[in-house]
Amino acid sequence: AEVGAGGNKSRLTLSMSVAVEFRDYLGDFIEHYAQLGPSQPPELAQAADEPRRALKSEFLVRENRKYYMDLKENQRGRFLRVRQTVNRGPGLGSTQGQTIALPAQGLIEFRDALAKLIDDYGVEEEPAELPEGTSLTVDNKRFFFDVGSNKYGVFMRVSEVKPTYRNSITVPYKVWAKFGHTFCKYSDEMKKIQEK
């Protein structure tokens, strides 16, 4: 989380698997930053009428989230801007997002702290091969079906996303068949009722 001058917090939400990839991207940005020459003095930067461009950019897309990473420079120095957007689905309004800025001089410490969190709380074994997530849109709602795993086993997170809120349930793998059977049972019963 980043706390701005007005006390507003900006925070990014990362799953453990995304955190691992993000840590690796941080390593790439650290290497690139180390190879850059000295920063341009503020007077020269302001005199040049060129728009500020990113020194290095990457992006990462996972499930319904996108992460944009841009190494930039302004009058205060170089920094890594990370923007996370959450796609709420077609027809469900604008994309929500959060942005944080990390001073380039602190990237190594940030990466090391993230690596420690991953080591302390991440899954040590190789992640299981899991099916890709999917989604479907019904009226003004979008349903996301994302398969994941943690120390308790494999699960499916079913998320309902509307323009004004997001709600989800987590279904353990061991009850998927029963869960699916129950849906099919009620679907068949509703067909019979509607055919009357």
Task: Indicate whether 68 pLDDT > 90.
Answer: yes
Q: What is the CATH number of domain 134-195?
A: 3.10.450.700
Helix (H, G, I), strand (E, B) or coil at 161: strand
Q: Where are the domains of the chain?
A: 2-121, 134-195
Question: Does CATH number 3.30.2450.30 belong to domain 2-121?
Answer: yes
Which pTM value belongs to this model?
0.58
Token duo for residue 2? 């980043």
Per-residue pLDDT tens over the stretch 160-178: 887 777 788 999 999 999 9
Rg (CA), the chain: 22
Residue with the bigger pLDDT between 6 and 54: it is: 54
**pLDDT of 49:** 47
Worst-scoring range by mean pLDDT, 51-55, 56-60, 110-114, 152-156?
51-55
Strands (E), 63-130: 65-74, 77-86, 96-103
Range with the lowest mean pLDDT among 10-19, 68-77, 116-125, 184-193? 116-125
- Residues with Cβ within 8 Å of 15's Cβ and at least 6 positions away in sequence, in order, are 62, 63, 148
Of 92 and 190, which is predicted with more confidence? 190
